[in-house]
Structure 1
């Protein structure tokens, strides 16, 4: 199919799919929280620079502040706690964004299956969204030795800001009891934010895996991936598994919305790629969802498109049967692996590839 250019606002091709979907999955990343008061860590006044000013002699790259290996070095550990205190301070004053509210609206319409988020800011909690926090929560602190967990208080934040890790109250209590009984002392754990770092296992990984498997069995019919750069292997695997199930239906679609485009790895996964701000995409999408006349026109275009796709498929099958060049099994396999993709840059369609043949009703 030839390339095409048209303003996204007047031609939102996923609207009819989104309107009719009954089981929508969301996968979200840091990009959906920026407008809520949690800026990019790497900006000139971002958190990384604040940490560097407080610990000028320690050289740490951004990713290393989220790597469990830093606990092997005392100076790097102090940097970590300072960073976590500053992040907690921002989160405490942050508010849910328009994108968060959009997910809430989907839930109120009875279309939301679940939201899987990489974010640790817990902004979904104030909206009571059914959310799985893939990387933990900044609302809690946990002991590095025992299973104790506590609310992330202002006292914890103040101690962290100075690079100090407070001792675990439960460990201290157990140690005091052992001393009273005349037993030898044991190691006392310290408290840290209840988040999952690189190079450490997720304490709830098995439970999350079971939940993902359960959701996939319910056969979602639409997935919207927003504000993430798609770097975590486990999340990438889940998105691809969900996409295969969604694409097994005639009208199932997968949408990607982010400021930066995905790599070629995702060409056969995402049906629509939107390069831009998630809140702006939500605003434009809400306009169209509220425009019943435009929705009716979109449905008509969709029916015509599906009709043309079916005619092309029938013609192709007739030619194949006539020439007997390709076996039926091979035709079916190739038909099932063909995908539809539309790439949008700055909310404009920049490329349309060959559509996936429609299935017979």
Structure 2
């Protein structure tokens, strides 16, 4: 049964549903959290595309460069010198905002799951690294603005103020490691090689994640631990590989009695998620967390609600079993027609036991961390 909760509705209408949902969260032992940009909106990082947002600030610095907001996060921008300069200025502005941002109430909620030993892993699409100071076990699916990476040798360094100042002018700093190697080659009288430049260590659309294989293995391992809860917050679910992971996790969670999958966002998910999410909470994630925290703090209420939900689940199961018995009775009273004995032909068509078992196993293979937009071409690839 799917439950939809609109935070904007009267408290007396949604309170019982939030209580039930809070009870499921309270009893979870292995939770997965998936987050997107929506959970950081109240941290002081403004919307990129608003009238006073970052994109318009960048356009003021580079008025001759025609670049749409989405293209600022696409690897194809490195084909043009003007768009490269625009990208670096945008990244410098973004870093300045992230440096002054503080974790939100939603981040603190995820931290509380960590402290209670309930959180298996947090998978975040955000690059603001606000989870780090809270010691949340987070996997950054799209990289981080905390570091810069060489475009040639992949050496990484802290994203310092000095690097930010160079980026602000639209210029890329020289990679210290490449520079050191080149100086040594010059000392030895060897020919010169290319020297790389530094860029923020984030994953753009149409490029591979440098830690793709290890992230894929972590996802496989987490699914093997049989999670019983997944909360997806602040994301519009556009990246195909992340969508696939969420659906695989949901399938495993729904195999457990009482396992639920929750979606919290300002806008509704599309119809493809109709059978994936058990609870859809429409509204600000911080506001939902505030409601939920109050419920979780009432231990007596949580225990009473847990007993109620177990009783209802038992009644539904007994009702389902009764309906199955009725179906069996009908089948027993149905005349059976004589059929030819085609057992040999049927046996030949059935797959082997080994093959059947292999199909039932849940694994993620060939984890490619090429981050693409959700286009027809992207759907043909396994991507993050």
Q: TM-score range by the shorter chain?
A: 0.7 to 0.9
Residue matched to 2:23 = 16
Larger radius of gyration: 2
Q: What is the 5 A alignment of 1:30-49?
A: 30-49=37-56
| Root-mean-square deviation over aligned CA pairs | 1.9
2:268 alignment counterpart: 261
Deviation track 1:158-194 (CA, whole Å, cap 9, x = no partner) reads: 1101111111111111111111211111111100000
Deviation of 1:310 (Å)? 1.5
Counterpart pick for 2:76 among 51, 62, 69: 69
Aligned-partner Cα distance in 2 for 1:14–1:66:
36
Aligned residue pairs total 327
* 1:292 alignment counterpart: 299
Tell me the residue number matched to 2:133: 126
Extract unaligned runs of 5+ from structure 1.
328-361
Name the CA shift for 1:3/1:208 in 2 (closer, same or farther; >3 Å): closer
The C-alpha deviation readout for 1:117-153, integer Å capped at 9, x for no partner, is 0011000111111111111110100100002111001
Match of 1:78 among 85, 103, 116: 85
Give the gaps of 5 or more residues in structure 2: 335-384
- Conservation of the 8 A alpha-carbon contact between 1:254 and 1:271: yes
Q: Which runs of 4+ in 1 moved over 3 A?
A: 1-6
Alpha-carbon distance in structure 2 between the residues aligned to 1:299 and 1:139: 42
Separation in 2, partners of 1:230, 1:35:
20
Tell whether the 8 Å contact from 2:2 to 2:279 is kept in structure 1 after alignment: no
Give 2:33's match in structure 1, choosing from 26, 32, 36.
26
Closer/same/farther in 2, CA of residues 101 and 2 from structure 1, 3 Å limit: closer
TM-score normalized with structure 1 length: 0.87
* Alpha-carbon separation, structure 1, partners of 2:121 and 2:141: 13
Tell me the CA shift for residue 254 of structure 1: 0.3
For residue 263 of structure 2, give the secondary structure of its aligned residue in structure 1. Answer: strand
Displacement of 1:3 after TM fit?
9.9
Cα distance in 2 for residues equivalent to 1:199 and 1:80? 16
SS of aligned partner of 1:14:
helix
Question: CA 1:2–1:134 in 2, change beyond 3 Å: closer, same or farther?
Answer: closer
Shift of 1:326: 12
Q: Secondary structure of the equivalent of 1:8?
A: helix
